[in-house]
Structure 1
């Protein structure tokens, strides 16, 4: 098997490649990166590196020569993400790649999403299924790693203010989802299967506040606020309006139960239980 990992310099891509190197020879792994200088350590281990991006079709063609399987790591939202994904899928089909895998998102109800960028994951899944390529889709839960970004650096002074109500999320560590993805790609054929990688429990911002209180010894409280109150509180920080709107949409989906599905598939593919919220926060906040 010859496997191409796109978006390999991102946090998820790097985690996947590092886990792949524990399972398969480095010469069986190819990585597509925007900047080769950011991945010199991976290249030194024997992974083949191609510079390019999802908008540069010739670079995609070069990277996919002699490749059996392409892992498409979803693009960021700075460009035309759907077209970028289509470029990867179309190039794979054109060059005779047999299999494609895709990192999607574990959302409950496509029809009622507040965060419309999440719909682009479903549109990409649709396009993959129509391509005729054998596929594996990884629907990943919201990264536990984003919690510090959500709650801010002053959480131990101010507490947590989010418009998420009592909503819960099956947060899991990005590195563990990367490891699980690598295990599937290393040991299983693409058989038109969709995995949902979530933690074994769901957690609310009340649970996050409680865990941080226990870990820090400082009282941390969660204040579920209205969207308008949250926006008024955040605007003086200088946060760009599009970013603020994105955070609101994430929280709205959490409040509406979009992120609270639990499966045992992450545990099964890791071969152990995923890291709990408390243990994950201990690492993320360096207690």
Structure 2
């Protein structure tokens, strides 16, 4: 099969993918890239080849990529500035002989009218990979169910309310764990070259329906107030969120920008997330988790 590289291996997605991959292939064939190797000492002890790599420092990448045949390129977190990081990674991987790059993208990344600004980074990266000469697979994830069960539900339960600009746009929320399993499936199975897969959960659900589900599970009220985009910006302003990605303070308390969140909600409202597929089950061999299952798993962290 050859050696498989996982970038960002000390992040939540990367670590989960690394642990699953270590159970699937020979451990010496797993290469884990990270800016903080010490955080992966336990996986190194299991036999993984942990290497330092910084996508902002191209000189660190040739050695990090050496010997890899496939790479899972996990999108970095810096909205608006990560395309340069991804380009450095792709160019170094191709130069080192990587023949297949699997990229964690987002649903509707290829739809030009999609208003979500996050799609620009993802589509630009997809195009870089497609033009690199290597084989590719784009994993276009829907919104993570964990983002609803945790960061959205907890403050909504605390306040008893949630302003929202998503309207009645449906989303087939997908578990991060299912996306991880799908990525590892693509890396370890034949026949996925030059394909784009939209990864979703099993049910199309609106944000108001999701909050009603959380309210029912918690036994506490959540009132969803439908607001326009300007009111949503005002809400995030009150939280102290930066308006633009360029205003995000490194390692600050809020690692996202309100224009990202508001345009994400607009994309949901306009139907760009209204897609349900069976790729998770087809690639992993198991049915994807429901939003309710993910919420029940997170209930212990809720303010009840």
Shorter-chain TM-score above 0.5: yes
CA drift at 1:141 = 1.3
Q: 1:236 Cα shift?
A: 2.5
Question: Please, which of 198, 204, 207 is the counterpart of residue 206 of structure 2?
Answer: 204
- Name structure 1 gaps, 5 residues minimum: none
Per the TM alignment, residue 60 of structure 1 is displaced from its structure 2 partner at its CA by 1.4
For 2:104, the equivalent position in structure 1 comes to 103
Give the whole-Å Cα distance in 1 for the aligned partners of 2:209 and 2:281: 21
1:80 Cα deviation from its structure 2 partner: 2.9
* Residue 224 (structure 1) aligns with: 226
Query: In structure 2, do the counterparts of structure 1 residues 127 and 232 end up closer, same or farther at CA, with 3 Å as the change threshold?
Result: closer
Q: Per-residue CA shift, 1:181-206, capped at 9, x if unaligned?
A: 11221122552122221112111112
The count of aligned residue pairs is 287
The residue that corresponds to 1:178 in the other structure is 180
Preserved contact between residue 145 and residue 176 of structure 2 (Cα < 8 Å): yes
Partner secondary structure for residue 131 of structure 2: helix
Partner of 2:251: none
Separation (CA, whole Å) in 2 of partners of 1:92 and 1:162:
41
Q: Is the 8 A contact 2:4 2:68 kept in 1?
A: yes
CA contact (8 A) 1:151 1:161 kept: no
Segment drifting more, 111-120 vs 7-16:
111-120
Runs of 4+ with deviation above 4 angstroms: none
User: Do structure 1's residue 126 and structure 2's residue 127 form an aligned pair?
Assistant: yes
CA displacement, residues 160-190 of structure 1 (integer Å, 9 cap, x when unaligned) = 2111111111111112210111122112255
How far apart are residue 155 of structure 1 and its match?
A: 2.4
SS of the residue 2:112 aligns to: helix
Paired residue secondary structure (2:271): coil
Q: Distance in 2 between matches of 1:65 and 1:123?
A: 25
- Per-residue deviation, residues 108-131 of structure 1 (Å, max 9, x unmatched): 762112222312211211121121
Write the mapping of 1:1-287 to structure 2, written as runs, cut at 5 A: 1-77=2-78, 80-107=81-108, 110-147=111-148, 148-242=150-244, 243-286=257-300
The alignment's TM-score, normalised by the length of structure 1, stands at 0.93
CA change 1:79–1:247 in 2 (3 A) is closer
**How far, CA to CA, are the matches of 1:13 and 1:284 in structure 2?**
20
Alpha carbons 1:156, 1:218 under 8 Å: kept: no
CA RMSD of aligned residues (A): 1.9
Residue ranges of structure 2 left out of the alignment (5+ in a row): 245-256
SS at match of 1:112: coil
